[in-house]
């Protein structure tokens, strides 16, 4: 026993061993089969059958005289026997003469290995079974690879007329013109022998499909694993597209290349969009693996072509269904539309070549594994595209290129392997290894970035005051909550020499590390300047000079306010949101944000803060809080809550829908020298 047979079903082996040897039929000039010895085996119904195109139910009658019909053999389609491109009806008739060998007559059955497309079987004028359904609403199973039909029981053995009424779908451009009717020789026998014969054929089919089942099982497993890993980190686009690419293979295999009873229409509805998904997924895999996603223009074009490809392949399914339905007045226009759609999406399938050429032209340092995946992807796609193109034109050109492409290169344990299967196998393993390398590399980068963010946040924790200094005569409260790990908002509360307080609040455009580093620079600048001047305008002017050339296309808004012990306020503003006193917005003269212009000047505005009045300063994270509906919190709502505590203002905006960093400062003037009324809160430094 060879090792590979260990994996074959025991039942199949038993059926193969028990199969009786066929009894050859004797054939007369009038195509009469003498079924002698039918009790012990099967007889192939080879030799000539009476054949006629067209449809007439009288042809099922055993008394009908078919002597004027032509004769065809059953081992090849009628398209190869003088009826090319013949869609529609055709009838086969065969006279069976049974000679009993003694004993009880066995139950007879007939088996048709493959017929194109839908058909009905009549025995002595009586319908004994059908496969699929004939017009006006035709359907049949497994358009490309016909599944063996169930045996048709004929009843107790006796002589009679066997008639087969067949409907072949209209000829299409992606098929050979030499189709229709019987494709393989029917077999007659007793019911038990036919059942064993059917089992033996299915066993041989299963044996020859072992490699295909194994390969598609691996693709399904790879899709499942990629999907599970992607669920843990949905930023991994490579795993998302690998899931869809690998998932497409077992779906196509189960849809078209197995013996499941799936109708032709359902097959096409599933097959065409899934083929589009497979193409698109491969493009995005190449885009990421070749690092072409770093080019926004290239990524944008791939997305556009992806939508076009998916729409074209999805539209092709209903067009094919109309073509194959044979509806008068519709199938020929649908056939032309099918050709046009196929031309376009076949041309788009050349996109992997464009991506590879572009990647080579960029001369980016890519490891050999990525180039191997790119090369195998190109071979796979081009092999598929050439096969589709040659199939599409076969009805016109009679080309045999598609057959040559599908020709086996070698076999593995009885399973034939062609060029496409070999390329798909190598691509799967190369892709798994490349994705493993990619995800490992990305995980390492993410870990490094995480450490950098933690370090930046630690620096920002130091720069943002943990405690608010006590200033006699003022109750001060703050609330700070970044939208991410690190934020772009900043504030400082610094006591002045004359018993007042210097408050600075600002917002750096952008988020993440760049904003956090800019905040570090600004806070250091403010603390240094506070030793030399308490003038808000002078501080803003110096900060503007420091930021020149460092904004990198961004900007920083900032407001500096000095509150003296007697309640006098001096304010200078660089494009920041105006503060509120007792719920009233202060009318300030705005200057340009920091870092935009070397000649920017900042004027100072004077106000008075009365006892028990609250001064509220905030960033645009409050005003620009956004609901799920898209509505903004806005200035009116902000002004309405401006007299509440810093904590309550910030929480209200956060619950509305935080979309940016939120910072709120409040200063309430109290009696001078009353230290018991001074208070502070610790700023909140937690990520969103």
53 has a pLDDT exceeding 90: yes
123 has a pLDDT exceeding 80: yes
Residues 170 and 237 in one domain: no
Residues 470 and 441 in one domain: no
pLDDT band at 21 (very low <50, low <70, confident <90, very high): very low
CATH of the domain at 85: 2.60.120.260
| Average pLDDT value for residue range 271-292 | 86
| Average pLDDT value for residue range 567-589 | 93
Interior angle at CA 680, CA 676 and CA 683, nearest 5: 170
pLDDT band at 6 (very low <50, low <70, confident <90, very high): very low
**pLDDT above 90: percentage of residues in the chain:** 25
Does residue 313 fall inside a structural domain?
A: yes
Residues 144 and 256 in one domain: no
Does residue 686 fall inside a structural domain?
A: no
Out of 104-108, 317-321, 457-461, 478-482, give the one with best mean pLDDT: 478-482
Range of the domain at 352: 215-446
Residues 201 and 228 in one domain: no
Q: What is the pLDDT of residues 148-182, one digit of tens each?
A: 567 899 888 888 999 999 998 876 655 566 788 89
* Alpha carbon distance 417, 73 (integer Å): 31
| Average pLDDT value for residue range 128-139 | 86
Q: What per-residue confidence (pLDDT) applies to 23?
A: 38
Does residue 139 fall inside a structural domain?
A: yes
Residues 36 and 125 in one domain: yes
Cα–chain-centroid distance for residue 325?
Answer: 31
> Is residue 162 helix, strand or coil?
strand
Lowest-pLDDT range, 14-23, 247-256, 575-584?
Answer: 14-23
Residues 17 and 159 in one domain: yes
Closest CA to 118 of 142, 95, 86: 142
27 has a pLDDT exceeding 60: no
* Alpha carbon distance 101, 105 (integer Å): 8
Q: What per-residue confidence (pLDDT) applies to 365?
A: 66
Helix ranges, 209-263 (H): 210-232, 237-256
For residues 549 and 302, the model is more confident at 302
For 279, other C-beta atoms within 10 Å of its C-beta total 24
277 has a pLDDT exceeding 80: yes
Residues 130 and 270 in one domain: no
Are the C-beta atoms of residues 322 and 336 closer than 8 Å to each other?
A: no
Two structure tokens written together for 571: 């304010």
| Average pLDDT value for residue range 338-367 | 77
For residues 674 and 503, the model is more confident at 503
Q: What per-residue confidence (pLDDT) applies to 155?
A: 87
Please spell the DSSP secondary structure of 313-380, one letter per residue. HHHHHHHHHHHHHT-TTTHHHHHHHHHHHHHHHHHHTTHHHHHHHHHHHHT----HHHHHHHHHHHHH
Cα–chain-centroid distance for residue 687?
Answer: 32
CATH of the domain at 432: 1.20.1070
Whether the ω angle into residue 136 lies within 30 degrees of 0, i.e. cis, is yes
202 has a pLDDT exceeding 70: yes
Lowest-pLDDT range, 46-60, 297-311, 417-431, 643-657?
Answer: 417-431
Q: What is the pLDDT of residues 386-437, one digit of tens each?
A: 776 666 555 555 666 666 777 777 777 777 777 778 888 888 888 788 778 7
Q: What is the pLDDT of residues 623-669, one digit of tens each?
A: 999 888 888 999 999 999 999 999 999 999 999 988 888 899 999 99
Question: What is the average pLDDT score of the chain?
Answer: 79
**pLDDT above 70: percentage of residues in the chain:** 79
Domain boundary among 184, 205, 226: 205
CATH of the domain at 578: 3.60.40.10
Are the C-beta atoms of residues 537 and 603 closer than 8 Å to each other?
A: yes
Does residue 452 fall inside a structural domain?
A: no
pLDDT band at 1 (very low <50, low <70, confident <90, very high): very low
Does residue 51 fall inside a structural domain?
A: yes
| Average pLDDT value for residue range 331-337 | 73
Please report, for residues 153, 497, 498, the alpha-carbon distance to residue 150 in angstroms, rounded to integers and kept in the order given: 9, 100, 102
Q: What per-residue confidence (pLDDT) applies to 393?
A: 57
Are the C-beta atoms of residues 248 and 271 closer than 8 Å to each other?
A: no
Counts for the chain of helices (H) and strands (E), in that order = 17, 26
Two structure tokens written together for 109: 């059955």
Q: What per-residue confidence (pLDDT) applies to 226?
A: 87
Cα–chain-centroid distance for residue 31?
Answer: 57
List Cβ neighbours of 315 (8 Å cut-off, separation of 6 or more): 341
Burial class (CB in 10 A: 0-12, 13-18, 19+), 8: middle
For residues 25 and 457, the model is more confident at 457
Lowest-pLDDT range, 126-140, 236-250, 367-381?
Answer: 367-381
Q: What per-residue confidence (pLDDT) applies to 270?
A: 80
Residues 499 and 389 in one domain: no
Out of 102-106, 124-128, 368-372, 678-682, give the one with best mean pLDDT: 124-128
Where residue 366 falls (left for φ over 0; alpha for ψ -120 to 50; beta otherwise) is beta
For residues 55 and 33, the model is more confident at 55
Q: What per-residue confidence (pLDDT) applies to 617?
A: 95
Does residue 103 fall inside a structural domain?
A: yes
Lowest-pLDDT range, 91-95, 318-322, 530-534, 606-610?
Answer: 318-322
686 has a pLDDT exceeding 70: no
The DSSP element (H or E) to which 44 belongs, if any, is: strand 42-44
Domain boundary among 162, 187, 205: 205
Residues 165 and 252 in one domain: no
pLDDT band at 59 (very low <50, low <70, confident <90, very high): very high
Residues 411 and 381 in one domain: yes
Out of 370-374, 375-379, 543-547, 671-675, give the one with best mean pLDDT: 543-547
List Cβ neighbours of 446 (8 Å cut-off, separation of 6 or more): none
| Average pLDDT value for residue range 252-261 | 74
Cα four-point dihedral sign 480, 518, 591, 533? positive
Q: What per-residue confidence (pLDDT) applies to 481?
A: 83
Residues 261 and 150 in one domain: no
Q: What is the pLDDT of residues 456-474, one digit of tens each?
A: 666 666 556 667 788 888 9
Does residue 361 fall inside a structural domain?
A: yes
616 has a pLDDT exceeding 90: yes
pTM of this prediction?
A: 0.57
Q: How far apart are the first and last CA of the chain?
A: 66
Q: What is the pLDDT of residues 213-224, one digit of tens each?
A: 888 899 999 899
Lowest-pLDDT range, 11-25, 52-66, 507-521, 657-671?
Answer: 11-25
Provide the domain count of the chain.
3
Two structure tokens written together for 80: 């190869």
Q: What per-residue confidence (pLDDT) applies to 346?
A: 76
Q: What per-residue confidence (pLDDT) applies to 571?
A: 95
Domain boundary among 388, 414, 446: 446
Residues 260 and 401 in one domain: yes
Does residue 451 fall inside a structural domain?
A: no
Q: What per-residue confidence (pLDDT) applies to 64?
A: 94
């Amino acid at each position: 026993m060879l090792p590979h047979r260990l994996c074959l079903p025991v039942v199949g082996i038993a059926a193969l061993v028990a199969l009786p040897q066929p009894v050859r039929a004797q054939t007369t000039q009038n195509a009469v089969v003498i079924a002698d010895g039918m009790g012990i085996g099967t007889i192939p119904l080879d030799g000539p059958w009476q054949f006629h195109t067209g449809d007439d139910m009288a042809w099922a009658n055993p008394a009908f005289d078919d002597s004027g019909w032509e004769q065809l053999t059953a081992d090849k389609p009628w398209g190869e026997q003088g009826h090319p491109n013949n869609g529609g009806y055709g009838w086969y008739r065969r006279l069976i003469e049974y000679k009993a060998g003694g004993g009880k007559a066995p139950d007879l059955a007939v088996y048709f290995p493959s017929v194109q497309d839908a058909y009905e079987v009549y025995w002595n004028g009586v319908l004994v079974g059908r496969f699929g359904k004939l017009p006006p609403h035709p359907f049949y199973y497994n358009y490309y690879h016909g599944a063996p039909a169930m045996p048709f029981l004929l009843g107790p053995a006796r002589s009679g007329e066997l008639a087969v009424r067949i409907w072949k779908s209209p000829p299409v451009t992606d098929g050979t013109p030499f189709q229709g009717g019987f494709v393989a020789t029917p077999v007659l026998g007793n019911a038990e022998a036919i059942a064993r014969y059917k089992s033996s054929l299915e066993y041989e089919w299963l044996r020859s499909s072992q490699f295909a089942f194994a390969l598609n099982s691996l693709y399904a497993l790879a899709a499942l694993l990629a999907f599970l890993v992607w669920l843990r980190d949905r930023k991994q686009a490579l795993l998302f597209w690998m899931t869809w690419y690998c998932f497409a293979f077992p779906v196509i295999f189960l849809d078209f290349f197995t013996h499941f009873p799936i109708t032709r229409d359902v097959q096409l509805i599933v097959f065409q969009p899934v083929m589009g998904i497979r193409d698109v997924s491969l493009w995005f895999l190449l885009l990421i693996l070749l690092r072409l996603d770093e080019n926004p223009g290239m990524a944008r074009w791939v997305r556009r072509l992806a939508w076009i490809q998916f729409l074209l392949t999805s539209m092709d399914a209903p067009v094919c269904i109309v073509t194959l339905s044979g509806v008068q007045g519709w199938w020929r226009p649908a056939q032309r539309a099918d050709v046009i759609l196929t031309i376009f999406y076949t041309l788009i399938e050349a996109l992997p070549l464009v991506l590879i050429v572009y990647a080579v032209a960029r001369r980016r340092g890519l490891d050999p594994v990525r180039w191997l995946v790119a090369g195998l992807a190109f071979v796979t796609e081009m092999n598929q595209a050439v096969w589709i193109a040659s199939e599409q034109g076969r009805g016109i050109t009679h080309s045999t290129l598609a057959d040559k492409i599908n020709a086996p290169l070698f076999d593995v344990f009885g399973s034939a392997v062609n060029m496409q299967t070999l390329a798909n196998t190598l691509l799967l393993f190369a892709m798994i290894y490349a994705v493993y390398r990619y995800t490992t590399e990305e995980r390492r980068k993410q870990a490094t970035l995480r450490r950098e963010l933690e370090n930046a946040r630690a620096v920002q924790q130091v720069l943002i005051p943990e405690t608010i200094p006590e200033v006699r005569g003022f109750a001060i409260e703050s609330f700070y909550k970044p939208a991410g790990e690190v934020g772009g908002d900043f504030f400082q509360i610094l006591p002045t020499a004359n018993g007042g307080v210097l408050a600075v609040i600002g917002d750096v455009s952008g988020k993440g590390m760049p904003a956090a580093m800019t905040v570090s620079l600004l806070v250091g600048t403010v603390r240094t300047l506070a030793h030399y001047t308490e003038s808000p305008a002078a501080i803003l002017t110096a900060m503007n000079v420091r930021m020149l050339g460092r904004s990198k296309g961004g900007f920083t808004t900032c407001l500096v306010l000095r509150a003296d012990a007697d309640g006098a306020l001096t304010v200078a503003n660089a494009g920041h949101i105006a503060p509120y006193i007792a719920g009233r917005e202060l009318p300030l003269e705005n200057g340009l944000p920091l870092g935009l212009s070397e000649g920017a000047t900042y004027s100072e505005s004077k106000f008075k803060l009365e006892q028990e009045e609250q001064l509220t300063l905030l960033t645009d994270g409050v005003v620009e809080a956004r609901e799920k509906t898209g509505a903004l919190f806005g200035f009116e709502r902000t002004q309405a809550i401006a007299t509440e505590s810093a904590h309550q203002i910030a929480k209200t905006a956060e619950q509305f829908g935080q979309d940016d960093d939120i910072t709120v400062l409040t200063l309430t003037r109290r009696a001078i020298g009353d230290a018991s009324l001074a208070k502070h809160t610790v700023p909140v430094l937690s990520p969103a």
